[in-house]
Amino acid sequence: AQSVTQLDSQVPVFEEAPVELRCNYSSSVSVYLFWYVQYPNQGLQLLLKYLSGSTLVESINGFEAEFNKSQTSFHLRKPSVHISDTAEYFCAVSESGTASKLTFGTGTRLQVTL
Amino acid sequence: DSGVTQTPKHLITATGQRVTLRCSPRSGDLSVYWYQQSLDQGLQFLIQYYNGEERAKGNILERFSAQQFPDLHSELNLSSLELGDSALYFCASSVSGRMDEQFFGPGTRLTVL
């Protein structure tokens, strides 16, 4: 079984500042890793994913995450946030080879202010 | 808009009742997933169907059941409802159910009074 820990329930940050949302996972097998974003009153949208290959993955809107196998982490970073990045961010893991059910973390609320 | 539709958007009912939530996957997607999002439990996987067959099961209560129909839409049936069943229920779909992106619907908010 897998589990995901997102240590920070809320992260307040000023616009144009850098941000890091932390995600650690636990699994006895190889995993795929995902970051999803949930804007208010909406469903989840995939932000980025790691399946294999390069450990650094990027999204189209400036976010990036690095898979660190030794530290079992998949932290999400953005060098300069915008007000529109305010949302709930969920880290998720699935067993590699199947990628069916996702196990989610508890989410991190990113609040960007001026 | 993900292309996944869910009805109804909101549902208010009483304890002991039974409700049915409906999900239509994106065109071409064969796999459907159901998730429950609550304040207590967070986001939890309930069940997955692929082309009409159950593929994976998560923390789904025995009072809950689901099925996927030949036209690929899916229904989640919740019976003997309890206060703790109040949550946001998401449906997601993907092309094959293996190694591909899941697209989430907007959710059905269930309130049990």
Q: Which tens digit of pLDDT belongs to each residue from B15-36?
A: 999 999 999 999 999 999 999 9
| A101: closest chain B residue by CA | B45
Strand partners, A28: none
Q: Which tens digit of pLDDT belongs to each residue from A11-61?
A: 999 999 999 999 999 988 888 999 999 998 888 999 999 988 889 999 988
Output the average pLDDT for chain A. Answer: 92
Residue type, A107: G
pLDDT the model gives residue A30: 85
Cis omega (within 30 of 0) for bond into B8: yes
Q: Which of B85, B75, B79 is nearest to B21 (CA)?
A: B75
pLDDT the model gives residue A40: 86
Tell whether B107 is within 8 A of chain A (Cβ).
yes
Residues of chain B with pLDDT under 50: none
Confidence of residue A94 (pLDDT cuts 50, 70, 90): confident
Chain A contacts to B (CB-CB under 8 A): 32, 36, 41-46, 49, 51, 90, 97-107
The residue among A101 and B29 whose pLDDT is bigger is: B29
Q: Which residue of A43, A99, A100 is in closest CB contact with B90?
A: A43
Chain B partners within 8 Å of A98 (Cβ):
56, 98-99
CA distance A48 to A23: 13
Residue A71 Cα, gap to closest chain B Cα (Å): 23
CA distance B38 to B47: 16
Q: How many residues does chain A have?
A: 114
Confidence of residue A1 (pLDDT cuts 50, 70, 90): confident
User: Which residues, at least 6 apart from B1, have a Cβ–Cβ distance to it below 8 Å?
Assistant: none
CA distance B21 to B35: 12
Backbone phi and psi for residue A85, each to the nearest 5 degrees, phi listed first: -80, -5
* Dihedral, CA of residue A30, residue B55, residue B49 and residue A31, to nearest 10: 0
pLDDT the model gives residue B69: 97
Contact A44 B90 (CB under 8 A): yes
Backbone phi and psi for residue A2, each to the nearest 5 degrees, phi listed first: -110, 160
Q: Of chain B residues 42-61, which have a CB less than 8 A from chain A?
A: 42-45, 48, 55-56, 58
The residue among A105 and A100 whose pLDDT is bigger is: A105
- Pairing relation of β-strands B108-112 and B10-13? parallel
